[in-house]
Amino acid sequence: MTKKEKIQFIITTLDELYPEVPIPLDHKDPYTLLIAVLLSAQSTDVRVNQITPLLFEIADNPYDMVKLSVEEIQDIIRPVGLSPMKAKGIHGLSQILIDKYDGQVPQDIELLKELPAVGHKTASVVVSQAFNIPAFPVDTHIHRTMYRWGLSNGKNVVQTERDAKRLFPKDLWNKIHLQIIWYARQYSPARGWDLDKDIITKTIGRKSVIRDYLNKKKK
């Protein structure tokens, strides 16, 4: 199977499994999505979705958020982890949004990356999911599956993103990065992986990955 055929097989399979793909983090606008994505760093979407309603009930916009102290924000978001850094970032970026952008979230990745605690992945998620601007945020799930599928070398997420953007059509980036996340969670997890259920890896995957899996299964 050529690389072009592999990409088409992935696209077709994911469309069959996930014709409509939900955004994992609950939000109602670009600002609440930005905060939710920031909170998700080294946490789980489930945990973040449990905490954000508590935070957004008090402050779901930058003007209300800056009325809270960093300590008050930290007390609310503590369960998601890294709360001191995240609380400081939330308060700081909220003030900047007010001062520089009239309380609105900018639609440019580079401008977003200038905000406190906002890295490339967070900025990519926001422009993709809030503004429908083509981007390909790479998380651990996409990084893992792209390696298993033999589409990236697995060295780092920067290279994986570069490979993904080169291989998949730009008009599909926003949809397919979410489809891959859902697929990886359901069929190609890091732990408890069952190759027989992972139809994409089983069909087009990296030979060394499949060989290692089978060898471990024999032991």
Structural contact between residues 74 and 106, judged by C-beta atoms closer than 8 angstroms = no
Structural contact between residues 99 and 62, judged by C-beta atoms closer than 8 angstroms = no
1-40 burial: b if 16+ Cβ within 10 Å, else e? eeeeebbebbbebbeeebeebeebbbbeebbbbbbbbbbb
Q: Active-site positions? A: 121, 139
How many CA atoms lie within 13 Å of 91's alpha carbon, on the beta-carbon side? 17
Pairs from 54-60 (Cβ < 8 Å, separation ≥ 24):
56/28, 56/32, 60/28, 60/31, 60/32
Q: Which of 177, 200, 179 is nearest to 188 (CA)?
A: 200
Q: How far apart are CA 83 and CA 100, in angstroms?
A: 25
Q: How far apart are CA 202 and CA 188, in angstroms?
A: 10
Structural contact between residues 24 and 45, judged by C-beta atoms closer than 8 angstroms = yes
